[in-house]
Amino acid sequence: MGLFPEARKDSNWFYRHSLSLVLAILLFLQTAYAVWAGHRVWVDELLAHGHEVHDWSTDFWIWWSFHYNVALVADTFGVILIVLLTKYLYEQGSTSSK
């Protein structure tokens, strides 16, 4: 037996996909928080520099999407590395790799 227990073939759909569902919910919650917090930061920066504030304008969404996507690319790259390295290390000693 390897590092991880084999997936049970008789398990239900929720059991097999529970990690994906939890991660999707976390991504949704983080995105909602990032929109709320990003709007606060954006408004505060405009006010600090004496600019007029137009709530939820196109300028905010451009600013927010740039900052959010920069962080998203870095995090996604890290997750891909973790998954690929875990898969490689897990399969390294398996019977199918021989």
- For 25-66, write each residue's pLDDT tens digit: 888 888 888 889 889 988 999 999 999 988 888 888 988 888
Residue 38's closest CA among 75, 76, 70, 74? 70
Number of domain units in the chain: 1
- For 59-87, write each residue's pLDDT tens digit: 889 888 888 888 887 888 888 888 888 87
| Cβ pair 64, 35 in contact under 8 A | yes
- Give the residue numbers spanning the domain of 57: 27-93
Q: Does residue 6 sit within a domain?
A: no
Q: Does residue 34 sit within a domain?
A: yes
Q: How big is the chain by its Cα radius of gyration, in Å?
A: 21
Q: Does residue 17 sit within a domain?
A: no
Here the contacts of 32-41 (C-beta below 8 Å, separation 24 or greater) are 34/64, 34/68, 35/64, 38/63, 38/64, 38/67, 38/68, 39/64
The length of the chain in residues reads 98
Q: Does residue 42 sit within a domain?
A: yes
Q: Does residue 75 sit within a domain?
A: yes
